[in-house]
Amino acid sequence: MGLAVFSVASTFAAHHEEAAASPWKYSLSIESETRDLNGFLADSKKFADSGVLAKRGASMTVYQINAGGHSGANVMTEFYYPNADAMPSPDVMVASQAHIDTFGTNPRDDDNVRATFYQNIHFVAPGEPSQYRVYIGYSVKATNSDYVSQIKEIMSDFATGNEAYGINEVIAGGLNGETHLVWWGYDSQASLMEDLERTRARYDEVVARLTASREILRTAVVTSILNSATPE
């Protein structure tokens, strides 16, 4: 889905946030179905604690998929890379014991159902990174070259300063022609639902405005349950 818990300072103009440089440029989002979530988390924590990501300046987050998982997926692992140099080497799956142990023969990761590479192209995250635990993401197929500029304006207008938000562009993978992921981050599911209620009156207006610019392919809600430390 291309989300994250970040450490970034944002500046404000009235209640509108200004986009900041994202601490990650690329992300790999992998949705899976597991029948042993506790074991899956234990294995993921062991991998994160191995230091193989931190050595490259990369990080990871594991999310429980609360709604909208693709083909039965109930967990999502995302890897975050600040630049191209932080990407894994071609031989990582045969040369890194941590990768071999976690991804080579792991029976707890029953079925990887979707993987997508994204590039972050818009990012706003005021406050402390630890406050953002719940995300809603909209997988979008843009049909108009003006879509990104339109959705940036709408997101800035809707934001209150208490939520994170951003736009990721699909590099490879995607879902049924997905071109972008538009996401919002909150401190809880309650805050997410309250924000949806707050903006409900304007929803039809936005739908009408963007009808010719995009098709929404999927909406998903996830909660972060394991974070590796973002390297300094």
Distance CA 76, CA 62 (A): 6
In which residue are the tokens 């809880």 written? Answer: 188
3 part of a folded domain: no
Residue with tokens 């309250």: 194
Task: Establish if 5 belongs to a structural domain.
Answer: no
User: Quick check: is 136 in a domain?
Assistant: yes
Spatial distance between the Cα atoms of 189 and 191, rounded to a whole number of angstroms: 5
Q: Please report whether residue 4 resides in a domain.
A: no
**Tokens found for residue 134:** 């719940």
How many helices and strands (H and E) does the chain possess? 5, 10
Host H or E run for residue 48: helix 37-49
pLDDT attached to residue 2:
65
Residue 130 or residue 76, greater confidence? 76
Structure token pair of residue 209: 């405005």
Dihedral sign, Cα of residue 52, residue 25, residue 154, residue 16: positive
Q: Please report whether residue 30 resides in a domain.
A: yes
The span from the CA of 25 to the CA of 4, in Å, is: 11
pLDDT digits (tens, 9 = 90+) for 192-211: 999 999 998 888 888 888 98
In 3D space, the residue among 72, 70, 83 whose CA is nearest the CA of residue 25 turns out to be: 83
| Predicted structure pTM score | 0.86
In a domain, 143, yes or no: yes
- Return the amino acid letter for 227: N
Domain that holds residue 193: 12-227
Q: Could you tell me the CA-to-CA distances from 163 to 129, 130, 182, 187, 194 in Å, in that order? A: 11, 12, 13, 8, 12
pLDDT level of residue 86 (50, 70, 90 thresholds)? very high
Total of domains in the chain: 1
In this structure, what CATH number is given to the domain that contains residue 71?
Answer: 3.30.70.100
Q: 35-61, pLDDT tens digit by residue?
A: 889 988 988 998 899 888 999 999 999
